[in-house]
Copies of this chain bind each other. A is one copy, B any other.
Amino acid sequence: MQSLKTLTILFRALKSVEQQIREDIRRYGLNTTEFGVLEVLYHKGPLTIQEVKEKVLIAASSMSYVIDTLVKKAYVKRVKHSYDKRSYVLELTPEGQSKMDGIYPMHVASMRKRLDVLGNDEAVLQKLLKQLGTYQKKDL
């Protein structure tokens, strides 16, 4: 292949999924980035801001902003890192925890409906997207 059709399709798929998530999650007073951060902490437990940033792939300055928002909403708190004084560890507050406990099952249900159209190919899609995502751009 030589065209970039694949990228076009990738963009459209994501935008479409993102729109569903946005609408899905809006009534809980969260946007997709906020939800993304909460989701990481929900699944991985407390993590450094830097580590969260590597998971959600947004600019450092955007991280600061999202975290401030989540702190204001009392879903998350910054805890000084034990030995690296540059860092903060992010963790869910009890409110954040129970917020996610309340939201997450519905979110999974709604999203699974869409993902289920893939059937057994879901694992294949995962594999291919991982290949795409982990490409090292050393040779650009």
Contacts and interface: CB of A to CB of B under 8 A. Distances in A.
Interface in A1-33: 1-7, 9-17, 19-21, 23-24
The DSSP consensus for interface residues of chain A is helix
A137 interface: yes
A14 B132 CA distance: 9
Given A1-B115, A122-B1, A128-B128, A140 B57 contact: no
B4 A14 contact: no
B114 A16 contact: no
- The size bracket of the interface on A is 35 or more
Contacts of A82: none
Q: What number of copies of this chain does the assembly contain?
A: 2
Interface string A100-140: 00000001101111110110011111101111111101011
Contact of A118 (B16, B17, B128): B128
A94 interface: no
A53 to B, nearest CB: 11
13 contacts: A6-B118, A6-B122, A6-B129, A9-B126, A9-B133, A10-B17, A12-B57, A16-B57, A16-B133, A17-B133, A24-B140, A114-B132, A125-B132
A-B complex: 8 closest residue pairs judged by Cβ atoms? A13-B133, A15-B57, A13-B129, A125-B128, A14-B14, A13-B132, A9-B129, A114-B135
